[in-house]
Amino acid sequence: MLYAGSATMHTLEFSGWIFLSSILAGLLGALTGLGGGVVIVPVLTLLFHIDIRYAIGASLVSVIATSSGAAAAYVREGFSNVRIGMFLEIATTLGALLGAYLTMIVSTHSIGLIFGAVLLYSAYASLRKHPDETHKEPNPLALKLRLQGSYPTAAGPESYVAQNVPAGFSLMFVAGTLSGLLGIGSGAVKVLAMDQAMRLPFKVSTTTSNFMIGVTAAASAGIYLSRGYISPALAMPVMLGVLLGSLTGSRMLVKAKVKTLRMIFAVVIVLLGIEMIYNSFTGRL
């Protein structure tokens, strides 16, 4: 069943509330690099009582919309690193196919628990300060693959070189698997892989994540579509709302402070993670 408890709510009103919720999801997704799916899946399942598999299907469609809406602006502004993004997409796409396959094996309660655990760890890792590596020698593998670039700051362009490439690539495979399994675009893990493992600047990590999540989501969305878990009536308001929110968020991110973005990132996913775990344990998912 697609959702429960909606018979008392008029269809147009129901779609309207989903649309408004999706705008907020898209806004937060663009600002933090998480993608709207990390917000919209819990909202659809916990607030609107929609079956989690259909929520994931709609989320994957919205993730593609978020990436399309926000990524173009970030590339134009010079924040996203397209070369790094496409290199890491090799790992995330393979992982996404595995994750989508696992949805037929893993129970919805287990999916909720995994979802919540990933979010809580993501919050912890995003706020944890990593050591100053200003004087660290450039990574030879990163230089060989040309995984470097610069991004605009108030003081002018600032250069960077990726670090720990194998670790970042491995984490991206995990991110792709979680994307296919949870329908979240795995932006949380992508941001952590680039920010914590590869030591990329936070704004580069979040914007490159937004660039990548659409490709990752598309890899698993086809499997959800073939299994009938994507409902056009649900996916349409979700997609339009997330797209509108992501376009607004992409404009706000350019002037936002990194510390503020990290706090938004952490607060949002801690609240959602706790609620997902609680509802999984109590059998509400």
Render pLDDT for 164-174 as a digit per residue (tens, 0 to 9).
Answer: 899 889 988 98
Average pLDDT of the chain is 78
Above 80 in pLDDT, residue 76?
Answer: no
Above 70 in pLDDT, residue 154?
Answer: yes
Q: Look at residue 285 in the predicted model and tell me its pLDDT.
A: 61
| pLDDT band at 125; cut points 50, 70, 90 | low
Q: Mean pLDDT over residues 188-195, rounded?
A: 78
Is the alpha carbon torsion for 244, 55, 265, 270 positive or negative?
positive
Above 90 in pLDDT, residue 107?
Answer: no
Q: State phi, psi for 255 to the nearest 5 degrees.
A: -100, -5
Render pLDDT for 59-72 as a digit per residue (tens, 0 to 9).
Answer: 888 877 666 666 67
The larger pLDDT score, comparing residue 166 to residue 280, is at 166
What dihedral do alpha carbons 32, 33, 38, 44 form, nearest 10°?
80
Token pair 């397209």 in the structure block, residue: 82
Render pLDDT for 236-265 as a digit per residue (tens, 0 to 9).
Answer: 999 899 888 877 877 776 677 767 776 777
The larger pLDDT score, comparing residue 113 to residue 133, is at 113
CA gap 151, 283 in Å, rounded: 46
Is the alpha carbon torsion for 48, 51, 55, 56 positive or negative?
positive
DSSP H helices in 11-78:
11-32, 37-42, 52-77
